[in-house]
Amino acid sequence: MTRDVQFGPLIAFGLGGIYVNLLKDVSFRLAKGLTRNEITTMISETKAYTLLRGYRGEKPADLVSIIEMVARAALLVNDFQEINEMDINPVFAYKDGYSALDIKITIDI
């Protein structure tokens, strides 16, 4: 998430790391009023979605919990205007839940 001066918080979803630059695998939405249906569409616009649905015999990831994570992040950055940037990366998705290994939040006081 990054906060735009004019539009407010902007949420990004994608593979992350070098893959954002290499594969251009990222989708964006404004956090304000972001619905679970919009989050689902946002996720489905990425190549990561193919992996999350299950690929080459891998079990599908728990998309419901990933959608909920993005929704909660959107609520958080809407409620706290002090948050300028937030990066949750990497997130490991499992068939039941997920793990966020690193979270960086930059605030403006």
Q: Which long-range contacts (CB under 8 A, 24 or more apart) does 36-42 make?
A: 36/67, 36/68, 36/71, 39/13, 39/67, 39/70, 39/71, 39/74, 40/67, 42/11, 42/13, 42/70
Model confidence pLDDT, tens digit, residues 78-87: 999 999 999 9
Domain residue limits, the chain: 2-107
pLDDT in tens, the chain (109 residues): 999 999 999 999 998 777 777 888 899 999 999 999 999 999 999 999 999 999 988 899 999 999 999 999 999 999 999 999 999 999 999 999 999 999 999 999 8
Q: Which fold has domain 2-107?
A: D-amino Acid Aminotransferase; Chain A, domain 1 (3.30.470)
In degrees and rounded to multiples of 5, residue 13 shows phi and psi of -135, 130
b/e sequence 64-103, b meaning 16+ C-beta within 10 Å: eebbebbbebbeebbeeeebeebebeebebeeeebeeeee
